[in-house]
Every structure is written in C-alpha cells, then in structure tokens.
Amino acid sequence: MKYTHEDTPSKNKTRGKTLGRILALLLLIICGLLIFQYRNDLSTKLTKVFAATEEDPVPVTALTRQPFRLTVPATGEIVGLETTSVVTPETSRGSLKLSWLIPEGTFVQSGDTVVRFDGTDAQLSLEEEENNLRENQLNTQITTLNQSTDEKVLEMDRTDAEMDYEYAMTVMPEDESIFSKWDIITAQADANYAKERIDFLNHKAKTQRRIARSDQQILNIERNKAQSEISVIQSTLNSLELKATKPGLALYQREHREDPQIGDEYHPGQALVELVNLDILQARIYVLERDGGNLEKGLPVVLKLDAIPDKEFHGTISSVSSVAGSLERDSVLRYFTCDVAISDAGRDLKRIRPGMNLEADVVLEEYDSVFVVPSSAVTYREKDSVVYVKNEDDFNPRTVETGLGSHGEAVILDGIEEGELIALRNPYETRQLYLPDFSKGTQSDMFPGGMPGGMPNPSMMRRMMGGRGGGPPGMRR
C-alpha cells in the first residue's frame, strides 16, 4: 500500500493525542505512589493542623446579671373591637318570646338588664305544676288514711275469724250418742270455714300491703316529676332576664337587616345583642408551629401596626387555637392562631381600622435579673443542670437552676454568684476531629471503585478530569 503526503498530518495529530493521554495517566500514577509512600508523615501533619490538643485553653466568662425577655415573633391583623354576645338561654320549652329590649346605642355596665323574655307561658306552667304537686300531696294523705283504715278493718276481721275458730274448736261436738251426726258435721264445717277465713285474711293482708306500696311509689314518682318540672320552670323564669356580663355599647344583631321586635320568638343560642367594649381592640396573630410550644392564654403581647409604626401597643392573649393550621392552600407552613385583646389603644382608636396588618412579639418569659450564657456553658443531665466554675487552675461542677431560654442561649436563675468565672464548654469533654487513616489503606481506598493495582476506573478518571465527555472541558466533543 502506498501512503500519500496528505495522510502524514492526521497520523501525527492522532499520535500526539495518544501521547498526551499516556503522560497524564503516568502523572496520576506517580502522584498516587508518592501519597502512598509518604502517607504516615502526611497523616501526622494533618492531625496536628486540625485536631484539638489537651493544651487548648478552655474559654471562660464572668457572670453578670441582666434583664432577659424571651419572645416569639408573630404576624397578624386588627379584627375589630372586643364584643360580647348576649344569646338566648337554653330552656326546656324551646323558643322564647321577646318582651323587652334595651334601646340600641345604650352604654351598659356589668349587671345591667339587657333583654327580657315573656314568662306568661312559663308562669302558667309553673302554676299548673304547683297544682299537680298539691293534688299529689292530698292524694298521698288520702291514700295513706285509706290504707290505714283498710289495715284496721282487716285486723278486726282476722281477730273475729280467730275467735270463731277458737269457739268452734272449744265446743266441737264429738259424742254421737249425745249429738246428732248433722250437728257434728256442721260444727266441723264451721271450724274449717273459720280456719280458711283466717288464711284468706292473712293472704289478703299481704296483697293489700303490696298494693299500698305500689300506690305510694306511683304517688312518689308523680311528686318527683312535679317537683322536677317546677325546678326547670323556675330556672327558665330566672333566665328570662339577661344581664350584661361586661360593660359596653349595646348593638342589635339583625337578621335580614330587620330590627328585633317585641313578640318575636328566639331559639336557644341565638344572639340578640352585642356589647362592644370601646376600650379594648382585638387582634388576631399567627405564630409558627415550631415557636408555639409554650403559647397559653394570658401571655402578654407587644404589637406594632404597619400604619402606626411609631407606637407600640400592648395586649394579652385571650384564646389560642388547639391545632396549628395552614394560612394558604397547599402551604407547608403551619401556624397557631391567637386572639389578642389590646387594652391601651386609647386615643388611637380613631386611626385604627379592622384589617390593618401588624407585627407582634409574644412574651413567653421575662426576667428582671438573671445570668444569660451560651447554651454550651450548661451541661444538661437527667435530673439537673451543671456549669463548671473556675477555681484557680481547675474547674468545679456546680448545680444550677435554669429558666426558659432561647436558641443558643441559656438562662441561669440560681446556684451561682455574680462575678464568678464559668467555662463556656465542658472542660472534661475532649473535642476530636476524625480524619482518614492513610496508614491503613491502599490506593483503591483513596480511589473508590479503583481498578486492580490501584488504578482509578475510567468513570473516576473522567470525573477527576472535569467532565462527562471523557476529558477536560476543552477536549470534549
């Protein structure tokens, strides 16, 4: 075969690429051999650089008392003034008829009458049940007297029958030579009749006592029923007059934009009047689920309105949702919802409107004077907490009482004095940095997935040379 002059540059180019790859592979092999040969010295030097030694000084800090407030952030909005609903009470008769209503716009104080319902039907029912009770009492007396009379009559009949039997047995004719056979049979029949009469009267007495007990039980049931009805009706009559539990401005609850009218009937639980407290605003705030573990009713809250950024308002939590929920659909964030009563709005009430956005801080705990240290300074054990107090060249453990702290900070309430030096970490725990042990490996350990003889596999080579295409970025096809 003949070679043309044009084939020579192509062959030279191919030979150059092959030579370059062989040189790169040789360079990697030489580096691996050097690392393997000097692995002990390299491991020692790295350990000295990164590992902590026993001679490292333990950092300390001097304790100083300071005030501390633990808060969790929240967002929310103004929802309006504090309102208290006056609702129709629960009664045995169901709906109630309105007879009097306080004029709308009236300022009421706690204990003032707001609503009255008609008690005519309840009063008639009360009189009817009272009559039933009196009738029951009279029937009980009559029944008791009748039962007593029947017992006395029965006792007299039984006594008479016993006397007849005793007489018949006493004068019993037995001698047939003196008395006729008819007289003897008649006397025996009279004695047997008297004995049967005694047995009958005894059974009648037992039956009569059972009937008397049943009659008394029926009368007791009727009496208890009447007394129970009277108690329920009296409770209804006492609840027909509704009083204000808090001061405020009385406003009607309208249905279909119609004012309540005298004579309208209202069902239990239906609201008639709302008492608006003009001194207390209400806000609704949302606290992230991760921060809501210590939320409870009565905690103080500091609020800032976006519309009034130059002033802080204060309030207390009036209610907390039992379960955290999402504010937006398909959102992974969950919030606890809290209602807050704002008590110091005062003169700013005219500037505040429902729907205004706000930011809030819920005060979980507030201390006037405590020690605040990094969390690493306190060692939490199973039953107590310990800090290490520096004493000359040594550290002595001291049991302390801790409070509620924030992330990264611990609060010490008692067990240590101001000015004492404590370690910022446990001085008896060694901090170690673990590095690979080059003396226990082979080249295949340093190159995972290596080929026999310590050679990296082709995929590892490609990753080391910087790309998926089998070479450096500039050589990819």
Give the chain's mean pLDDT: 80
For range 2-26, the mean pLDDT: 67
**CA-based nearest residue to 60, from 315, 393, 385, 338:** 393
Instruction: Kindly report the pTM of this predicted structure.
Output: 0.48
Highest-confidence segment of 5-9, 272-276, 462-466: 272-276
Give pLDDT tens digits for 272-283. 888 888 778 899
For range 119-135, the mean pLDDT: 87
For 55, the token pair is: 């001679």
Contact indicator for 362, 335 with CB cutoff of 8 Å: no
Strand order in the sheet with 96-101: 241-243, 113-117, 96-101, 265-266
Tell me the fold of 60-65+369-423.
Answer: 2.40.420
pLDDT of residue 433: 47
Q: How confident is the model at residue 41 (pLDDT cuts 50, 70, 90)?
A: low
**75 pLDDT exceeds 60?**
yes
For range 291-301, the mean pLDDT: 91
Answer with the residue of higher pLDDT: 453 or 12. 12
Answer with the residue of higher pLDDT: 432 or 408. 408
Give pLDDT tens digits for 307-360. 898 899 999 999 999 999 998 888 899 999 999 999 888 778 778 888 899 999
pLDDT of residue 77: 94
**468 pLDDT exceeds 60?**
no
Of the candidate ranges 110-119, 215-224, 370-379, 426-435, the one whose mean pLDDT is the lowest: 426-435
Answer with the residue of higher pLDDT: 134 or 6. 134
Of the candidate ranges 23-27, 55-59, 128-132, 406-410, the one whose mean pLDDT is the lowest: 55-59
For range 228-247, the mean pLDDT: 84
Give pLDDT tens digits for 248-266. 888 888 877 778 888 888 8
Contact indicator for 242, 84 with CB cutoff of 8 Å: no
Answer with the residue of higher pLDDT: 286 or 234. 286
Contact indicator for 475, 468 with CB cutoff of 8 Å: no
pLDDT of residue 56: 62
Separation of CA 357 from chain center: 28
pLDDT of residue 460: 38
For 366, the token pair is: 């507030």
d(CA 373, CA 423): 10
**409 pLDDT exceeds 90?**
no
**246 pLDDT exceeds 50?**
yes
Q: Which CATH architecture has domain 273-366?
A: Beta Barrel (2.40)
Of the candidate ranges 9-18, 107-116, 271-280, 445-454, the one whose mean pLDDT is the lowest: 445-454
Q: How confident is the model at residue 431 (pLDDT cuts 50, 70, 90)?
A: low
* Torsion sign, CA atoms 248, 254, 257, 261: negative
**176 pLDDT exceeds 90?**
no
pLDDT of residue 92: 67
Highest-confidence segment of 37-51, 359-373, 434-448, 452-466: 359-373
